[in-house]
Amino acid sequence: MTNSCNKEKKFHGYLDMRQKGMWRNTTALFSLFKPADLELYRSLLRPPLEMPETPAVAIFMFDYHDVKPTGAVPYLEYAYCLRCKYLGKEGWHILTMPVNRFVPLIGIFLGFPKYIASEMMMSPTDINDGWSVLVKHEDQLKMSLEFTPGLTRKLDTFEKNAIHGSAFDLDEPLYGFIPPNTGLFFNRVMVEDVVESKWERKKLGMAKARIGSSEPFSGLIAPDAEGVCALMRYHGGCILVDRTLGFYWNSKNARSENT
C-alpha cells in the first residue's frame, strides 16, 4: 500500500509540474557584458556553434524560491553564457552553471555544466538599493557581482534590444553538449511557459563582475567593465523542453539535423 501511495504521489506531482510548471516564482539578475578578448571567445564555442552577429557575455543569477513538485527545493543558480549561433538561430551557450542544492543537478542530463558550489549568495545591499552576488567553491572565487540601479552610460542598440526582448525573457535557445562541454550529443533546451507567465523588470542599472582566475574564461570580461543589468521577477509556471540536434565528435567532423 505504501509503495502504491508513493507512486501515486509521484504521478500526481509530475502531472502538476507539466500542467502548472516547475519554476513558478523567481528573482533574477540578468547582466550583459562586451567581451574583451574575441579570440578567447571564439575558442570557447565548439562546433557546430558559430560566432553571433554581436558577441556578448551574459551572467544570469537566479533565486528559484517557488519550485514544484513536492521533493523539489528552492535553490540558487549562476550561469555564465556566451552569445552564439547555430544554423542561423542565435541563442546562448552556458560554460558553467553551479547551484547550491543536489536536486537541480539533474540538469546535467540536459547538457547544463552543473555542480554544487561551496558557497552561493544573492541578496540586496544597504548601498543604493543594490544587490550583491557571490559564488565560491573550495575556497576559490568563481564569480562576484555588484548591481547598482541607474544607468551610467548610453546603451548601444544590442543592449537595448536585449533588455527589452527575448534575451532577457529567456525565450531563446540554450545550446549545449551531453555530457556538458565535452560530450558527443549536441542539445537544444527551450524554456516553455505552461501557464500565463510574465517577467517583470523591477530595476535597471549597471553591474561590475569579477571572475575567478581559475576559470578558463576569466579573461573575457575586462576588470573595469560595466555591464547593463536588470533585476527581474518571474511569476507563472515553466518547464524545460530539450531536443538532441545531432552528434559532434571533432572539429572537422560534425553531423546535425536541420531544425
- d(C-alpha 185, C-alpha 192), whole Å: 22
Per-residue pLDDT at 254:
47
Report residue 110 as a C-alpha cell.
540536459
- d(C-alpha 22, C-alpha 117), whole Å: 22
* Structural domains of the chain ordered from first start: 20-256 (2.40.400.10)
Q: Pairing between strand 57-67 and 75-86?
A: antiparallel
Work out the pLDDT band at 153, boundaries 50, 70, 90: very high
Per-residue pLDDT at 158:
87
Per-residue pLDDT at 119:
98
* pLDDT tens track for 44-102: 999 999 999 999 999 999 999 998 876 678 999 999 999 999 999 999 999 999 999 99
What are the Cα distances from residue 234, in Å, to 17, 152, 189, 198, 238?
16, 26, 19, 6, 10
Nearest to 163 by CA among 200, 213, 129: 200
- d(C-alpha 27, C-alpha 201), whole Å: 10
Per-residue pLDDT at 22:
83
Per-residue pLDDT at 24:
87
Q: How many degrees, rounded to 5, is the angle at CA 149 between CA 73 and CA 231?
A: 25
Q: Which residues of 31-70 are buried (b: 16+ CB within 10 A; e: fewer)?
A: bbbbbeeeeebeebbbebbeebeebbbbbbbbbbebbebe
Per-residue pLDDT at 15:
47
Contacts of 223 (CB under 8 A, 6+ apart): 210
Work out the pLDDT band at 150, boundaries 50, 70, 90: very high
Strand positions, DSSP E, the chain? 23-33, 57-67, 75-86, 89-96, 119-124, 131-137, 140-149, 174-178, 185-193, 198-211, 227-250, 253-256
Report residue 72 as a C-alpha cell.
523539489
* pLDDT tens track for 169-221: 778 999 999 999 889 999 999 999 998 888 899 999 999 999 999 999 999 99
The answer on pLDDT for 7 being more than 50 is no
* Helices assigned H by DSSP within 77-156: none
The answer on pLDDT for 14 being more than 60 is no
Q: Are 114 and 108 in contact (CB under 8 A)?
A: yes
pTM score, whole prediction = 0.88
Work out the pLDDT band at 166, boundaries 50, 70, 90: low
Q: Which residues of 187-222 are buried (b: 16+ CB within 10 A; e: fewer)?
A: bbbbbebbeebebeeebbbbbbbebeeebebbbbbe
The answer on pLDDT for 165 being more than 80 is no
What is the arithmetic mean of pLDDT over 144-162? 92
| Percentage of the chain exceeding pLDDT 70 | 86
The answer on pLDDT for 12 being more than 80 is no
Per-residue pLDDT at 255:
47
The answer on pLDDT for 168 being more than 90 is no
- d(C-alpha 110, C-alpha 105), whole Å: 10
Element (H, E) at 10: helix 2-20
